[in-house]
Structure 1
Amino acid sequence: MDEATYNQLVAGAFKRILAAADGIDPDVLEAESTGDMVTLTSASREKCIVNTQRAVWQIWVAGRGQGIHFSYEPTQGLWLDDKGKGLELFRFVADVVQHISGEPLTYRS
Structure 2
Amino acid sequence: MMDETRYNQLIAAAFKRIMAAADVLDPDDLEAESTGDMVTLTAPSREKCIVNTQRAVRQIWVAGRGQGIHFSYDAASGSWLDDKGKGLELFRFVADVVREISGQELAYPG
**Structure 1 CA distance for aligned equivalents of residues 29 and 47 of structure 2:** 11
Shift of 1:84: 0.1
The sequence identity of aligned pairs, in percent, is 79
Runs of 4+ aligned residues of structure 1 deviating over 4 Å after TM superposition are none
Aligned to 1:53: 54
**Structure 2 CA distance for aligned equivalents of residues 86 and 64 of structure 1:** 16
Aligned to 1:99: 100
**Structure 1 CA distance for aligned equivalents of residues 62 and 97 of structure 2:** 10
Q: List alignment gaps of at least 5 residues for structure 1.
A: none
Q: Secondary structure at the match of 1:80?
A: strand
**Structure 2 CA distance for aligned equivalents of residues 72 and 44 of structure 1:** 31
Note the 1:5-84 alignment, pairs <5 A.
5-84=6-85
Shift of 1:106: 0.6
TM-score, length-scaled by structure 1? 0.99
Q: List alignment gaps of at least 5 residues for structure 2.
A: none
What amino acid does structure 2 have at the position aligned with 1:105? L
**Structure 1 CA distance for aligned equivalents of residues 104 and 81 of structure 2:** 23
